[in-house]
Amino acid sequence: MSAEELIEDFSFLETWEERFRLIVEMGRELEPMDPADKVDANRMLGCQSRVWITCRPTDENPPRLHFVGDSDAQIVKGLIAVVFEVYNDQTPQTILDTDIRALFAELGLANHLTPSRANGLNSMVERIRAFAAE
């Protein structure tokens, strides 16, 4: 699903309860994370819930970055899925050039997340951008 498709899907939902259900459902569809990857080195700081993200570059030239993530909180797992919809399997330059915060604004996430979840979401974005900058 592209960012445009995500915006379109959200636009059909009338209430934030429906949108949060979609986010949770997206989280349930995330690629499973190997339990061996749930180590401190992959754990996100700045998130109230426990969140892990791994990055594996492909062998392509230029490489694409493949992310796998998980959380112990359903809504946060869904937010990981939203971020991955935009960033997963993109080139590092595409990731660095993408203004995902504009997507968050268009989806209305900034207005409907608790401050701690919004901080965690920003931490995820910064971590992914750091992977791309490497």
Q: What is the DSSP letter of 89?
A: T
Q: Which two tokens stand for residue 25?
A: 């459902």
Q: Does residue 55 have an active-site annotation? A: no
Task: Count CB atoms within 10 A of the CB of residue 87.
Answer: 23
Is the CB of residue 74 less than 8 Å from the CB of residue 64? no
Which position among 30, 44, 47, 83 bears the catalytic label? 47
Closest CA relative to residue 27, chosen from 63, 72, 80, 65: 80
Q: What is the 3-state composition of the chain as percent helix, strand, coil, each rounded to the nearest 5?
A: 60, 10, 30
Catalytic annotation, residues: 47
